[in-house]
Amino acid sequence: MGKRVNMEIKKTSLYKLHQDSNAKFVEFAGYKMPIQYSDGIVEEHRFTRNHSGIFDVSHMGQLFINGDDNLIEDLEKIFPLDLKNLELNHSKYSFLMNDEAGIYDDLIITKLEKGFLIILNAACKDNDYKILSKLLDNKYKMVLDEKRSLIAIQGPKSAKILNNIIDGIENLNFMSGDWFLFQDQKIYITRSGYTGEDGFEISLPNQNAEKFTKKLIEKGAKLIGLGARDTLRLEAGLCLYGHELDKDKTPVEANLKWAISKERVLKGNFIGSNIIYKQLTDGVRKIRVGIKPEGKVIAREKTKIFNQSDLHIGEITSGTFGPSINGPVAMGYVENKFSEKNTKVFLEVRGKKHPANICGLPFYKKNYVKGVNK
């Protein structure tokens, strides 16, 4: 018999600050991460929606790839994106897919001066690095940078708070970024996030992360745990890898075709493009939808979905109580013919079937800043 390997649980550079702030921790993707603080998930959620929350997302991967015009050409063979026309310091949401268009990871790719910064999910980042190294044939300098932290500040007061520390960030548009200075160190800030609110993500050296976060707290922002991050993203209709997305689901099935370049699909020269083209042309058998339970029942992941004829038509992938709408919300996959809005369905929770309705997404109106006056 083989010996059990004790994998060391990693900690982010903000671990001590989380401890000092009475965080309750969970293990997530090999890291000890704060799930909530003393206020609790519902209050943290509401504070983010109304004010400004700080999220430690340093467990996520920050992959820097440097290269010339050949890099753009090679990356376009991998991602379903028009990278040739992506402007400097602009970001796009995309996918790393297999030959069947199943999703290895969903990611954010940002054009930098000498290459790209790709933000990867924590549980996927090491495998992503191996896949990309192989696909790019080790032709380019690739660094999965563990020396940098990633901090998100989200909510309607975030721009005002962050601008007290870093001058000029209010000029950033949604999904754009730039380099700034903090304590004589280069930090990269993008106007982005995963809560449905206006916000920013800050990539900075580990040694500066705690001081930077404390400054945000001094200006009125609060530390928020992964529990509220999950309820916020679900209300905003945003996918979570390992729930709505995995290697057996395609972007078209996930109802994310908006993130795929039409021009690139017609050219058909990226991994999984044949499947994507076929699904966009012929449709899909199953599709991701929003589901609003009637009453107060919360349908968790793997809850079975039935139609009015008691036919099993799908499964819940995420479900919770939505504090901003004061009721339960869920997402899941159903057979396409039952995906019309207002279709009545039933959710099997603890042996009983509860009524629900297929609905549009998001549950909560997103408050991203699309444009700013410069």
Top pLDDT among 368 and 5 is at 368
CATH topology (fold) of 285-359: Elongation Factor Tu (Ef-tu); domain 3 (2.40.30)
Query: 45 burial class (0-12, 13-18, 19+ CB within 10 angstroms)?
Result: buried
How does pLDDT run across 82-141, given as a tens digit for each residue?
999 999 999 999 999 999 999 999 999 999 999 999 999 999 999 999 999 999 999 999
Q: What are residue 48's phi and psi, to 5 degrees?
A: -65, -45
Q: Which helix (H) or strand (E) holds 20?
A: helix 15-20
**Those residues with Cβ within 8 angstroms of residue 269's Cβ, 6 or more apart along the chain or in another chain:** 76, 77
State whether the Cα torsion 265-268-271-272 is positive or negative.
positive
How does pLDDT run across 146-165, given as a tens digit for each residue?
999 999 999 999 999 999 99
How does pLDDT run across 11-52, given as a tens digit for each residue?
999 999 999 999 999 999 999 999 999 999 999 999 999 999
Encoded tokens for 171: 């000029």
Whether omega before 362 lies within 30 degrees of 0, making that bond cis, reads yes
Domain map (residue ranges) of the chain: 285-359
Half-sphere exposure for 57 (CA within 13 Å, toward CB): 26
Encoded tokens for 371: 């444009």
How does pLDDT run across 313-346, given as a tens digit for each residue?
999 999 999 999 999 999 999 999 999 999 999 9
Identify the pLDDT of residue 329. Answer: 98
What's the Cα-to-Cα distance from 336 to each of 112, 161, 229, rounded to whole Å? Answer: 39, 44, 29
The DSSP output letter for 47 is H
Taking each helix axis from N to C end, the angle separating 226-235 and 41-50, rounded to the nearest 10 degrees, works out to: 60
Q: Which amino acid is present at 41?
A: I
Residues in a beta bridge with 56: 151
Identify the pLDDT of residue 373. Answer: 44
In degrees, rounded to 5, the angle at the alpha carbon of residue 214 between the alpha carbons of residues 57 and 19 is 65
Nearest to 152 by CA among 199, 83, 105: 199
Q: Which helix (H) or strand (E) holds 182?
A: strand 177-182
pLDDT > 90 fraction of the chain, expressed in percent and rounded: 94
Identify the pLDDT of residue 367. Answer: 87
Residue in this structure with the two tokens 């005002």, named with its chain if needed: 160
Encoded tokens for 217: 């707290």
Average of pLDDT values for 262-286?
97
Residue 6: pLDDT band with limits 50, 70, 90: low
Average of pLDDT values for 251-267?
96
The answer, yes or no, to whether residue 372 has pLDDT greater than 70, is no
Residue 368: pLDDT band with limits 50, 70, 90: confident
